[in-house]
Amino acid sequence: MAGGFAKDGAVQDQIDATVEDAVKRVRDQLPRGESLSHCEECGKSIPPARREAIPGVRLCIACQAEQDAKEKTVSGYNRRGSKDSQLR
């Protein structure tokens, strides 16, 4: 039962939309195209198994791990709009 101006199932719709946004954001970051034989950063050879497992790979494992550590997680925005979560 929804209260106020929200329709029934509105909370679940918000959750579903948040999950869909996160999945789309991650898919957009996946590499595309032809895999490189050597790392863009350090020039080391990328193993054939890695190139087959991840089409479009551009970095060796060490450089990819370093890049992943530097990236921050995107939290998106607050769909629920609760006062407590806005104060963080």
Put simply, whether the predicted model's pTM sits higher than 0.75 gets the answer no
For the segment 27-72, what is each residue's pLDDT rounded down to a tens digit? 888 878 899 999 999 999 999 999 999 889 999 999 999 988 887 6
What is the spatial distance between Cα 1 and Cα 7, in angstroms, rounded to a whole number? 8
Please report whether residue 76 resides in a domain.
no
34 versus 86: which is more confidently predicted? Answer: 34
Please provide the distance, in angstroms rounded to a whole number, between the alpha carbons at the two ends of the chain.
29
Please report whether residue 59 resides in a domain.
yes
Q: Structural domain of residue 46, as residue ranges?
A: 31-71
If one counts the domains in the chain, the total is: 1
- Contact between 62 and 45 (Cβ < 8 Å): no
